[in-house]
Structure 1
Amino acid sequence: MATLAVEVVYRGIFQRTLARNIVRNIVFAARKDGKIGTAFGRYSDSPERNGIPAKQFAVVCDTALELEESLAVYEATTVDVTINVDDAMCKGIESWAWYGLQPINELTKPGGTLIVTSRQHADSLLEDIHQKDTPYDLAIIPSTVSFSGLWVYKDDHTDMRILGTLCKVCPDLVSLKAMLESIQEQTGNDTKVASVQRAFDRTTTRSVEPGEGNAETPFKFDLPGWKTMEEGLVIRAIPEGTGFRGGE
C-alpha cells in the first residue's frame, strides 16, 4: 500500500490549463495501472490572479481507503515530485494567500524530484533554489516558459514532455506504458504520444546534496495569533503629550 503525491507550481491564469492537463493525465494514467487517484487545486489559490504562483496536486493511491485520507486536505504537506513550469519561481514563491517566501522545493520529500522547465543548466538554477537539509534530484526539461490564457491554450506539448519525464523519475507513481495508453486514448494524437516517449528517453537527473543551493533564509512574517488579534483594524493615535513626530 502506498500513496504518492505530485504538485505542479504554475502562474495563475496564464498556466492554469497546463497545470490542469498534467494532474488530470496523471490520474487517468494511474487508473490504467489499477490505482486510484484525485487531482485538485489549492483551496487558497481561488480565485486565481494573473501570474501569481498557484498550485495543483495529483494524489495516487493503491486503494480507495488510502485516497480518502487525502480528500480532506487543502494542500499536501509533502510530495514525491514537484513540477515547476516557470524557472523564475526557482527563487521561491509568494502566493496571494501566503505570507512570506516559500522555497520551490519546500514540500519535496527526501529523495524526491524537482522537475523544472528551463533553458538554464542545473548549477545556474541551484543559485536560486534554496537549500534543503535532505537530498533530492533535479530534472530539467529544456524549454522556454509556456504561457497562454484562461480560455486559450498554447498546445506546445509542454504537458506531454513533463508527463514523460515524470514517468522516468517516479515510476512507482505511474508506468510509462499506462501513460502512453492514456494519452492515446484521451487525445488520439500519435505525435503527443511520441512526445511523452521522447521525453522519457531523454530524461536525466542531477543529485542535489543537503546544503547545496541558495543559502539565503526565505523572508517570513510573524503574524498575531487568534488570542492576540484585535476586533478590527486599529490605527494607534499619537500618545498624549508627545507632539508631532515626538517633538514638542
Structure 2
Amino acid sequence: MNDPQQTSITVEVVYRGIFQKTLAQRICRSIVLAARKRGHTGTAFARYGDSPERNGVPAKQFAVVAINDLELEASMAKYEPAVVDVSIAVDDTLVKGVESWAWYGRQPIWKPVRKDGFLLVTSTNTPDEVLAQTDTALRPYTLVIVPGGASFAGLWVFKDDHTDYRCLGALAKVLPDWVRLEDVKALIKEQTKDEGAVQSAQYGYDGATLRPVKAGEGTSGHEVLQFEKPGWTTMRPGIVVDARKPGERNPQYKKYGARTLRPVVNFDTCIKCTMCWLDCPDECFEVTPEGHYEVVYQACIGCGICAQVCPVKDCIVMVDELKFEDNEDKWQFWKKDHDGYNKWFEEKSGVSADPKVRTPAARQEGSGNANPSANPTSASGGDD
C-alpha cells in the first residue's frame, strides 16, 4: 500500500468548524507522535483561522511526516498542501463536498487526494452508501470507512468518544510504513493509561472497510459551485456586500455545505405558529400561500433550532443529511402529491406523518433514521 521511494506523507483532517476542532487537532498531533516512534519526524498545523469555524463551515488540520528534517522542510514549503496522501473526514456528510469559507465554491471531498490515495470517513453507513453521495471520481482512490458516527463532543470542552483512536487505527491499516498499529497503541497507552482507548485503536484497525474507487464512480448529482479564483489585481474588496432587495437571497451565498442534519416538515400538523420562521438564525423559512412554513434548503445550515422551538411534536424532525440527494424545496411536492410527500416524510424521518400515531417509528427501538444529536432531549419538535 506504500511507495518505498516515498520520503514524506501528508494527511489532512476535514472537520465541521469549531464543533470538531479539538478532535482534528488530536488526530493530527497523534499521527506525528506515533510516526516519531519509528524514527520519522513531522509536524501538525491548522489551515483556517478561528473566525470561519464558528458557523460549522468545513475547516482543515494537517499532519506532515517525513524521513528526516530536510524532507519535512521541503514538504512544508507551501501554506496549504495541494496534494495529500490521506484525507480523513470525521463527519460522513462532508463527502457531499467541502465548501470553503473562501468564495471559490464547493470542492469534491477527494479533490486533494493523490491518485491511489485514501479517503477515510467515519460513518455508520456502508462504503457503497457513502460513495453514492460522493462526487464522481476523476482518478482512482480507496474509500475507507472507519466504524462510528460523527463526533460533536468538542465544542468547548472535549469529551472523548474514541473517534481519534479509531481513526488512528484505521490510518495504521492503510499506511503501515509510516504509522504502525503497535506505535499507535503504545502512544495511546502512554497518554491515557486506558486499555479501552487502546482497544478502540485496534477496533478501528480491524473494523476499517476498504473499498477501491475507480474513476467515474460516485454521483454527478450535486450542484456545481465552482468559481475562478481571482488574482490580486481583480479581487474584490472583502467588505463589499452586494445590495439585495428585501427578501431576496444572494444566489452565491449557499450555506448547505455546512449542514450535517436537515429539517423535514410535516405540513399536515403545522399550526402556522411562525416559531420556526421567527427563530431561524439563517432566515431559511419562507411563508407559503396557505400560511405554512417551508425550508429553503440552500440557505439552511441545519442547526436544529426550528425543531427545538416547534410546539407540535414531530412536526419538524432533524434527519441525517446523507439521506438526501437534492436541495429542492418540498411544499410544492406536498401540494401536488399529498400522499407521496407523506410517504417521503416517513421514509426520511422514521416518524409517522399521521398525528394520531403516538409511537413514531423514530422512537421505536432499532430505528436509526431520526438523529437525536440536533436536540439533547428529543430528535424532533414538541414536548415529550
Partner of 2:55: helix, strand, or coil? coil
Which position in structure 1 is the counterpart of 2:214?
A: 209
Cα pair distance change 1:175/1:221, threshold 3 Å? same
Whole-angstrom CA distance in 1 between matches of 2:97 and 2:85: 18
Cα pair 1:135 1:207 within 8 Å, conserved: yes
Shift of 1:119: 1.7
Listed one character per residue, the Cα deviations across residues 201-227 of structure 1 (whole Å, up to 9, x for unaligned) are: 222201101110012573112354333
1:21 is matched with: 26
Q: Deviations over 1:82-109 (max 9, x none)?
A: 1001111111011212420011011111
Inter-partner Cα distance in structure 2 for 1:113 and 1:85: 14
Q: Is the radius of gyration larger for structure 1 or structure 2? A: 2
Quick one: which amino acid aligns to residue 179 of structure 1? Answer: V
Distance 1:214 1:201 in 2: 28
Q: CA distance change for structure 1 residues 230 and 93 in 2, over 3 Å: closer, same or farther?
A: closer
Of 226-235 and 53-62, more deviation after overlay is shown by 226-235
Q: Distance in 1 between matches of 2:111 and 2:235?
A: 28
- Residue in 1 aligned with 2:114? 109
Higher RCO (Cα < 8 Å, 6 or more apart): 1
What is the aligned partner in structure 1 of residue 199 from structure 2? 194
Matches of 1:190 and 1:182 in 2, distance apart? 12
Whether contact under 8 Å (2:23, 2:154) holds in the other structure is: no
**Correspondence 1:179 to 2:172:** no
Greater CA drift, 83-92 or 116-125:
116-125
Of the three residues 70, 78, 86, the one matched with 2:75 is 70
State the distance in 2 between where 1:79 and 1:235 align.
Answer: 36
What is aligned with 2:302?
none
* Distance in 1 separating the partners of 2:22 and 2:241: 41
Further displaced range: 33-42 or 218-227: 218-227
User: Partner residue of 1:7?
Assistant: 12
TM-score of the pair, normalised by structure 1 = 0.87
Which residue of structure 2 aligns with residue 30 of structure 1? Answer: 35
Residue aligned with 2:44, SS: strand
Q: Which residue of 1 aligns with 2:134?
A: 129
Query: Does 2:164 correspond to 1:151?
Result: no
Q: Which residue of 1 aligns with 2:60?
A: 55
1:39 partnered with 2:50: no
Q: Which runs of 5+ in 2 are unaligned?
A: 1-5, 244-384
Q: Does the C-alpha gap of structure 1 residues 235 and 178 become closer, same or farther in structure 2, counting only changes over 3 Å?
A: closer
Contact 2:147 2:204 in 1 (8 A): no
* 1:219 aligns to 2:225 (yes or no): yes
Q: 1:91 aligns with which of 89, 96, 114?
A: 96
Shift of 1:235: 8.3
Note if contact 2:127-2:209 (Cα within 8 Å) is conserved in structure 1. Answer: no
Seen in structure 2, the aligned counterparts of structure 1 residues 209 and 225 have a Cα distance that, compared at 3 Å, is same
Partner Cα separation in structure 1 for residue 241 and residue 10 of structure 2:
42
Asked if the contact 1:45–1:96 (Cα under 8 Å) also holds between the matched residues in 2, the reply is no
Distance verdict in 2 for CA 1:233–1:113, change over 3 Å = closer
| Superposed displacement of residue 132, structure 1 | 2.2
SS in 2 for 1:49: helix
CA 1:99/1:234 → structure 2, altered by over 3 Å: closer, same or farther? Answer: closer
Amino acid at match of 1:131: T
Percentage identity across aligned positions? 51
1:222 is aligned with what amino acid?
E
Equivalent pairs, count: 235
Structure 2 length normalisation: TM-score? 0.57
